Chains A and B, each alone.
Chain A
């Protein structure tokens, strides 16, 4: 009972505080503090409800129990992370994205192929490609190669479509300027069209980060060696030790956010000239 009342009081206080802060002048501090307070409130609410109503940890473990499990199993979690993220997702991501960018550059000289590739690519990007997972596991075996193959198939089309669109992004004036300079095709591509395409390419790369992790994890549901995040999630669910599952989800969330953040950081340094990167004053 004390838990429920305490959490409700905290919720009310945090709500009022957030309303106050939201009305203040926008600053770096409020932009960080308001969502942080909201997140903490959610976690406490979760903890309080689980404890207050005595929900069985088999259904929903409290955040504190998840934190304890997390800190006790760091070696296991690290092993899973390396297997799924570094070996499966990251290698597939790099292969898939570079293949997509190279394909886009290869068809760049043929507007005919581009007009065909754009609608088909957009269509394929909406398909449940994740369904290829069982086939890839059959072809490449249980280890990380099959996961990387699924990731390649998943990231290829979104990146391809974005790159093809991006290569068309430079405007006629700029292309004419390159022509007056007497620039050859590779020069124009390298100096003007690829840099101009970067915002689009990075848009595709950012979408692909999430897809890569999803692909690597779901592919493990179809068969994997005895480590990996997807393997751990499906077996620990079977053993009803949900705190371990949640710890694994925390790892996935951290890895996913860090991956996305990392790509966004690279984007910031590559496309510093783009209006969306300018700091608002």
Chain B
């Protein structure tokens, strides 16, 4: 809790920079308008104009906040929470493909990690490629995967999920291999003196020991998964989603819409990471591993 004050200070600083940037970037347009209307613009009038423009270069925070409220809370009040114009609807689309990809990516990652830990040949042949693949900009091929899967008549949701899966899969493999190998020699020897079979060793020692590592990589994985879903929506924008909102916003110069979609995506990421954090605390406490 002693970090609250410093964090608030930094966040406050970011808001100040944001407002200053908004005034600076939007002032050109304000001066332009005044020149065409042949009025002399005082500094105060210029600043107040930069706060309320319709298509600002950088919308100030309160405009973005108002837009977010208009497309979420206000629509809920009118009973139109899932209308096509609401951010809740688009956020839901993004969330569903994120979670789908995340679940499959995690499952695949854990399976591969188990295979790598138990087979030396797998370890030697697959692991270098897993690490090398981290250095490759996988996101760049997202549009291609989407188009290929769509032409193979795969459901759009799955096509987007595949990209999320691809991105969330690597952190899980790397983290789980580290986690499954984390029991030290003493503990392994102890299991051996108890004459434990390989599967007993796995279920009773390796798997429990790997849980903290698993949660750490799940947090990275879900954030990566959301990024994958947002980028995939750029190529499948007809179904909506936060990425599609950004693309449409950039076509029509609706900066406020882009920023509100961006903030919504950030909030979604924060909520999901926090949810995993809560789950982690509960699980580790039950296992007696909480620090």
Contacts and interface: CB of A to CB of B under 8 A. Distances in A.
Interface residues of B, number: 62
Interface residue tally on A, bucketed by range: 35 or more
B282 interface: no
Contact of B135 (A134, A210, A217): A210
B137 A213 contact: yes
Nearest to A238: B147
Interface string A134-157: 110111000000000000000000
Interface string A229-273: 110011001000010010001001100110111000000000000
Nearest to A257: B135
Interface stretch (B7-15, B29-37, B40-48, B187-195): B7-15
Interface in B98-124: 120-121, 123-124
B124 A22 contact: yes
Q: Which of A59, A237, A260 has the most CB of B within 10 A?
A: A237
B91 interface: no
B231 to A, nearest CB: 6
A61 B231 CA distance: 24
B155 to A, nearest CB: 17
Given A113-B9, A116-B10, A131 B230 contact: yes
27 contacts: A18-B125, A34-B121, A34-B124, A59-B152, A112-B6, A113-B9, A116-B3, A116-B8, A126-B269, A127-B266, A128-B226, A128-B265, A128-B266, A132-B262, A134-B247, A138-B250, A138-B253, A218-B139, A218-B234, A221-B234, A230-B140, A237-B144, A245-B141, A253-B137, A257-B132, A257-B135, A260-B135
Interface of A: 15, 18-19, 21-23, 30-31, 34-35, 37-39, 58-60, 112-117, 119-120, 123, 126-128, 130-132, 134-135, 137-139, 209-210, 213-214, 217-218, 221-223, 229-230, 233-234, 237, 242, 245, 249, 252-253, 256-257, 259-261
The 7 closest A-B pairs by CB, nearest first: A116-B6, A134-B250, A38-B125, A116-B10, A260-B135, A22-B121, A35-B128
